Structure 1
Amino acid sequence: MDNTRSYDIAWLPGDGIGPEVTREALRVLETVGSAHGFSVTATEHRIGGAALDETGGPLPGSTREACLESDAVLLGAVGGPQWNDNTGEQRPERGLLALRKALGVYANLRPVRVPEALAGASPLRPDRVGGTDILFVRELTGGIYFGTPEGRTGHGARSTMAYSEDEIERIAHVAFQRARRRGGHVTSVDKANVLEVSELWREVVTEVHDDCPDVTLRHLYVDNAAMQVVRDPRQFDVVLTGNLFGDILSDLAAALPGSLGLLPSASVGGTVGLFEPVHGSAPDIAGQDVANPTAAILSAALLLDEVGETAAADAVRHGVDATLDAGFRTADLAAADEEAASTSAFGREVATRAADSVLQNAQTP
């Protein structure tokens, strides 16, 4: 097949298990690309602790420029115990924050799916959690994490939650656009009964909804939303919320599938999208070929969605589901009496099944 489309990926393996899991994501990207008529070229660059050790800073200028010039960025994870004593701009995590700022991304997308094959791994009852498919749309650059004034005041401290109408409007548009591609329902989460900034949030989201009458909108207070995520997660389609509430709720929902190794994320809205697994660098298992690459592979599927290769993205998700349906489990999911698949073996199985789904679809009359 003559590849007429090509994508340049800035590959930032990061630290710990980052190189292992993103390597499998690249394997899957290259395989489905070949089957769908496009090519993927990945160029490796340093970030986080690896960059600190090599260049003295967590985000070298060369990495920053390469990311800005790429079609997408695939990131592993940053950090580890060897850099725990670093402070300020010498923290590995500073590289990630600086990269997000450089790319201008403001919308964090975190899908939480519980395939029926893994419902038994959830801390909730399988009949309650199986089939869950939620997309959290979290505002990434505003809210209490970035509000001023802040700091210590005598024997107290202050952090300020602040949002402008423009910030709320742009993240609301992202949520409604995503809902149109999914189940057509947005749940906006706030604390409008207590916080004035949440009153503004609710007003602006409602105004944006006026332009999207084909999407259903409801509002929930954040405390009720937290309860509902645990009580009945399948009621949600797209959850729209600010930075703080989104951070907490998406981490709560991350427990539903039973392993952080299953959860991808995307940060979009800027010049170039950033795609990374939710989990950390897990230095205790780094280099052992036992980490779960699913989150990194599904992050690659989100990458394909963003560059317009939606059929290939669906093939990747099918490959993951088919591999799980076939009984393959990495160490974090395998039962005590089961043989766990290695990181590389799981990645190969997903790539094979993703490519097979393309061939099967092509042969279907």
Structure 2
Amino acid sequence: MPQPILATLIPGDGIGPEIVDAAITVLDALGSPFAWDRQVAGLAGVTAAGDPLPTEALESIRRTRLALKGPLETPSGGGYRSSNVRLREEFKLYANLRPVRTMIPGGRFDDIDLVIVRENLEGLYIGHEHYIPIDDDPHAVAMATGVNTRKGSARLLEYAFEHAVATGRKKVTIVHKANIMKALTGIFLEAGQELYERKYKGRFELDSVIIDACAMKLVINPWQFDMLVTTNLFGDILSDLGAGLIGGLGLAPGANIGADAAIFEAVHGSAPDIAGKGIANPTALLLAAAMMLEHCRLGEQAGRLRRAIADTLNVDKVRTGDLGGSASTVAYTQALVRRLA
């Protein structure tokens, strides 16, 4: 009997506990190799420990170096800083990997198979902001600082290029805004071109595209792209656009990869408006679990899980409401378990 793989489990907020329970049920049916250490974060962390990222959760991830988490609530405007951003910073999870693959044929776009690799620790998205008061207005001026480094850019680009080679990607496109943000995104483009010429030339095709043109091209002809690699904020936007090409965020998994830890998650938010109604779609989190299995070199189990999801959706036609069906979270989960039996 193989030794269990210790992993941290964070159910999260909103629909998080429902989809995490569904994922654990399906993984158990698959013969899950994971031994879970359950922790709380986000609003659940504030409620339980007065901290959206409690010390116990951080210590657990330091021990396991591996986590599966549900969505964490981040207040808009005021409130506390994003727990997701803090987790990425705490464990130096510099690469955000988001595959975009058609799961249900026959949509507006079909046969989509691309990967978005997003830098996770730098740029405008990290939230280094402040207000400057003028007269009696404390929020008269808002300022944000974006910082991209050559070292951080090259580290992410090398991860993307290595992933492209390992998975047989034929073309990598660097997405930037170096025509306007010449320094902040120009350094990323420059680092990618230099790395390609020095180490990867001939192993795949490299090109580049400006972010706004990329968004347009994705909705006109997404098949022209194979892998997109980009900076933090642009990657956040493009990964949601990519999810729209395949039917929505309910089908979009993500992995946050660092040198010493990896955290897997659904891309979507906590959806508090449907929490507790039993209608949430756990597919994105299940696909993230498949990525987690692959990360642990359990490709056969990852393949079985993906096939079970595809067969449940397309052969059995069991789908949650966001995918045009009427199945509850529990009914969909039970259908997946039957596929794995």
Match of 2:200 in 1: 212
Match of 1:201 in 2: 188
Q: Please tell me whether residue 102 in structure 1 is matched to residue 90 in structure 2.
A: yes
Cα deviation, 1:121-152, whole Å, max 9, x if unaligned, reads: xxxx3xxx101112110001101234878654
Contact 2:215/2:238 (8 A) holds in 1? yes
Q: 1:130 aligns with which of 110, 125, 146?
A: 110
Q: Give the 5 Å matches for 1:69-88.
A: 69-79=63-73, 87-88=78-79
Contact 1:316/1:351 (8 A) holds in 2? no
Match of 2:51 in 1: 57
Q: Give the 5 Å matches for 1:145-224.
A: 145-146=125-126, 151-152=131-132, 156-180=141-165, 181-197=167-183, 198-210=185-197, 211-213=199-201, 214-224=203-213
> In 2, distance between residues paired with 1:85 and 1:112?
27
Counterpart code for 1:201: F
> In 1, distance between residues paired with 2:324 and 2:42?
31
Match of 2:281, SS state, is coil
Match of 2:7, SS state, is strand
> In 2, distance between residues paired with 1:309 and 1:187?
29
> In 2, distance between residues paired with 1:191 and 1:95?
28
How far the C-alpha of 1:345 sits from its partner, in A, is 2.2
- The verdict on how the C-alpha distance between 1:301 and 1:193 changes in structure 2, with shifts beyond 3 A counting, is same
Q: Please tell me whether residue 350 in structure 1 is matched to residue 336 in structure 2.
A: yes
Match of 1:234 in 2: 223
Q: Give the 5 Å matches for 1:265-284.
A: 265-284=254-273
> In 1, distance between residues paired with 2:128 and 2:49?
32
Q: 2:322 aligns with which of 314, 332, 352?
A: 332
> In 2, distance between residues paired with 1:344 and 1:9?
24
Structure 1: tracts of 5 or more residues without a match: 357-365
Match of 2:57, SS state, is helix
Contact 1:27/1:347 (8 A) holds in 2? yes
Q: 2:22 aligns with which of 24, 28, 42?
A: 24
Q: 2:102 aligns with which of 90, 100, 114?
A: 114
How far the C-alpha of 1:22 sits from its partner, in A, is 1.2
Match of 2:260, SS state, is coil
Cα deviation, 1:252-290, whole Å, max 9, x if unaligned, reads: 222222222111111112421111111111122212221
How far the C-alpha of 1:108 sits from its partner, in A, is 0.9
Match of 1:254 in 2: 243
- The verdict on how the C-alpha distance between 1:311 and 1:212 changes in structure 2, with shifts beyond 3 A counting, is farther
Cα deviation, 1:293-325, whole Å, max 9, x if unaligned, reads: 100100101111212112221221111111111
> In 2, distance between residues paired with 1:264 and 1:136?
11
Counterpart code for 1:328: V
- Tell me the TM-score normalized by structure 2: 0.89
Tell me whether 44-53 or 344-353 shows the greater mean CA deviation: 344-353
What root-mean-square deviation, in Å, do the aligned CA atoms of Structure 1 and Structure 2 show?
2.3
> In 1, distance between residues paired with 2:77 and 2:142?
24
Contact 1:178/1:238 (8 A) holds in 2? no
- How high is the sequence identity, in percent, across the aligned residues? 36
Match of 1:14, SS state, is coil
> In 1, distance between residues paired with 2:76 and 2:65?
35
How far the C-alpha of 1:153 sits from its partner, in A, is 8.0
Q: Which has the higher helix share?
A: 1
Q: 2:35 aligns with which of 19, 41, 59?
A: 41
Match of 1:138, SS state, is strand
Match of 2:277 in 1: 288
Cα deviation, 1:4-54, whole Å, max 9, x if unaligned, reads: 1421121100111101111222223333345xxxx2211211111111111
> In 2, distance between residues paired with 1:203 and 1:236?
20
